[in-house]
Structure 1
Amino acid sequence: MLWMVAALTILVSGVLYSVRVDTRVASGHLERARATALLDGALRLAAAELAASPNVPVKPLQLIYKVGEAEIAVDVALASGFIHLNTAPETLLTDLFAHAAALPPDQAATLAQRLIDWRDADEDRAPVGAERAEYEAQGLTYVPRNEHLRRPDDAGQVLGLVAGVYDSIRDLVTTAGTGGDGTVNPLVAPEAVLAVLARGDQARARELVAMRQAGVEQTLDVTSLGLAHASAWTGRDYRLRATYRSHEAEEWSRAAWVSLEGAMQRHSSRLPWRWLYAEELRRIVEPAEQWTKASH
């Protein structure tokens, strides 16, 4: 009799544990769906507000939206402050991989050439690049498209550009718009991009951010900053990054790229902006939580 009671106790404990796990999973899915809806709504509200503004913003700004009890912050930045994967020259891509992803110079140069081989129209391999033969030799089921990347995460298919490397550069890059002439506007670039333009000089990047915050950039000549691949071009393409903290104290984020460049005329759209692409929803993990997970 005792063994039957013990067995039933174990069985009931297992069922209760399974129910708790299922409840947590369901709650997680619900919270993710809620975050997606709130962030996507805020991104579209921000796009509409930008399109309706008589003065198209150049300097980075933040817009705040309230939906019920939720508060969503949307950071707005010109796409010209990011490194364009389709037009950036080899030297800038090499600096990107060397300073943002902390790769050795030879590995950074290899990835830069492989990315260019992926995006250019020919099948001529760069000295340390990769074309069809190199992909087939690695047993991959795909080969370079020999066309521009549609989204930044397409770069994850480039031979050797592993997830960890892409994670290091994804907040610094774009494929929105034409990309100008492959240069970056340091007057609107994030600090991490400035560090790449300054070839790893973090102090110089912080100095430039401080100058912008003080309003000094209005009197600056971009060519006098001593940065590689810099110009004052702006354009009308933007990155919108929405952030929201849930009731469970989880922080969620999503970025979208939009264009205000003649959307209605060029794309038969009824909206005064064009939705270029949206990045995946991200749950922002606090450093303490990352340490806790790593310690298990």
Structure 2
Amino acid sequence: MEYSQPAGRLPHRQRGVALAMVVWFIAAMSVLVMGTVYESRTDVRLAQVHLGRAKAIAAGDGATRLHLAALIERRRGQGNNPGGMPLAADYRQGDTAVRVSVVPAGILVDVFAGPAEAIAGVLADGAGLAAADAQKLADNVVKWRAALPGGGRFARRMEVQEDLLRIPGFDRALLDAIRDDIRAMPGGRTAPVGSRDVDLQSLLASETLLRVDALVDYNGRQWLRRHWVSLQGGGAGSVLPWQVLRTEPPRVVGMTYPKAGT
């Protein structure tokens, strides 16, 4: 008499293979679901970043124009009287709070054409470098600006602050440490920012080149929208009494970057 497998039951080996296939299928589906969820969360974060940038541009630019209009109106009404010059003011664009502050560009260090002593000062004060290290790095800036001794028509041009990252010894952390203390264009004062003998109100009454910062609060973050503005009149075809010379893309303030090589 021969033994036969009961109907509807699989051999032990076949049952093991079937169970393994089910386990692998469940694992594959779990990985797929986890990947989909991660991608969705990434897309949401990217969308929030893009929305934050758009909010910073719209609200920041609007508040900047309002503040410039108020500043020019005050200057026209008071002449060179520095007492009422608005250095900062709060605005609200819809449900977004914006604080606009004005800095006369003349008190900021000129890394584009200024001497090494001034650059070393801002590196020591703003970035906390030792005096010797600050002077060495400042000398590197001056040497980099001039491709040949004496400069002249061979002088290397710096067009934006980020050009400092091309200089040996500079990194993102250093740039962020001094970004608020340096100018974005040539011709600035050589003294380090923060000199106590500078009266900002008096300087603002006569300064024609300004740095205008709009700090936008959105979704628990603060976005900085920065403009460099000339008050010597608008450009060709513009009816505005000011001219925007440089606009920096919005960025979240308070972020830090690791030093190079770490």
Task: Establish whether TM, by shorter chain, passes 0.5.
Answer: yes
Q: Does 1:24 align with 2:39?
A: no
- Name the aligned partner's letter for residue 236 of structure 2: S
Aligned to 2:241: 272
In structure 2, what is the equivalent of residue 252 of structure 1?
Answer: 223
In structure 2, distance between residues paired with 1:112 and 1:163: 16
Offset at 1:238? 0.7
Q: Find out whether 1:243 has 2:220 as its counterpart.
A: no
CA distance in 2, matches of 1:47, 1:87: 28
Q: Is the 8 A contact 2:127 2:174 kept in 1?
A: yes
**How is 1:51-62 mapped onto 2 (pairs within 5 angstroms)?**
51-53=72-74, 54=76, 55=78, 61-62=87-88
| Residue segments in structure 2 that go unaligned for 5+ positions in a row | 1-18, 258-262
Query: 1:170 Cα shift?
Result: 0.8
Change (3 A) 1:177 1:8: closer
Equivalent pair of 2:71/2:86 in contact (CA under 8 Å): no
Which runs of structure 2 are paired with 1:1-296 in the superposition (5 Å)?
2-3=22-23, 4-5=25-26, 7-53=28-74, 54=76, 55=78, 61-119=87-145, 123-124=148-149, 146-147=155-156, 149-176=158-185, 178-179=187-188, 182-184=189-191, 193-194=193-194, 197=195, 235-246=207-218, 248-261=219-232, 263-264=233-234, 267-270=235-238, 271-285=240-254
User: 2:110 touches 2:119 (CA, 8 Å); kept in 1?
Assistant: no
Task: Report the alpha carbon displacement of residue 37 of structure 1 after superposing the two structures with TM.
Answer: 2.3
Change (3 A) 1:43 1:8: same
Are the aligned partners of 1:236 and 1:260 in contact in 2 as well (CA < 8 Å)? Answer: yes
Residues 45-67 of structure 1 deviation map (CA, whole Å, 9 limit, x = unaligned): 33343344414685661122221
Asked if structure 1 preserves the Cα contact closer than 8 Å seen for 2:108 and 2:193, the reply is yes
Deviation at 1:10, TM superposition (A): 4.3
Cα 1:74–1:19, aligned 2, differ >3 Å: closer, same or farther? same
TM-score (norm 1): 0.64
Amino acid in structure 2 at the alignment position of 1:123:
L
Could you say if the C-alpha distance between residues 107 and 9 of structure 1 is closer, same or farther in structure 2, counting changes exceeding 3 Å? Answer: closer
Could you tell me which amino acid in structure 2 is paired with residue 124 of structure 1? Answer: P
Q: Distance in 2 between matches of 1:254 and 1:232?
A: 20
Q: Contact 1:84–1:174 at 8 Å: present in 2 too?
A: yes
Query: Residue 48 of structure 1 contacts residue 273 of structure 1 at CA under 8 Å; is this kept in 2?
Result: no
Amino acid paired to 1:284: V
Larger radius of gyration: 2
CA contact (8 A) 1:76 1:240 kept: yes
After superposition, the C-alpha distances for 1:82-119 in whole angstroms (9 at most, x for unaligned) are: 11223433222222222222223333222222322344
RMSD: 3.6
- State the TM-score, normalizing by the size of structure 2: 0.71
Give deviations 1:234-288, integer Å, cap 9, x for gaps: 5311111101111x21111122110112x34xx435232121212332212489x
Note the C-alpha offset of 1:169: 0.9
Deviation at 1:42, TM superposition (A): 2.3
Which 4+ stretches in 1 moved above 4 angstroms? 55-60, 231-234
Task: From the superposition, tell whether residues 149 and 49 of structure 1 become closer, same or farther in structure 2 (CA, over 3 Å).
Answer: farther
Structure 1: where are the runs of 5+ without partners?
A: 126-130, 132-143, 185-191, 198-204, 219-230, 291-296
Q: Deviations over 1:11-44 (max 9, x none)?
A: 3343233323322322322222222222233223
Letter paired with 1:12:
V
Give SS of 1:178's match.
coil
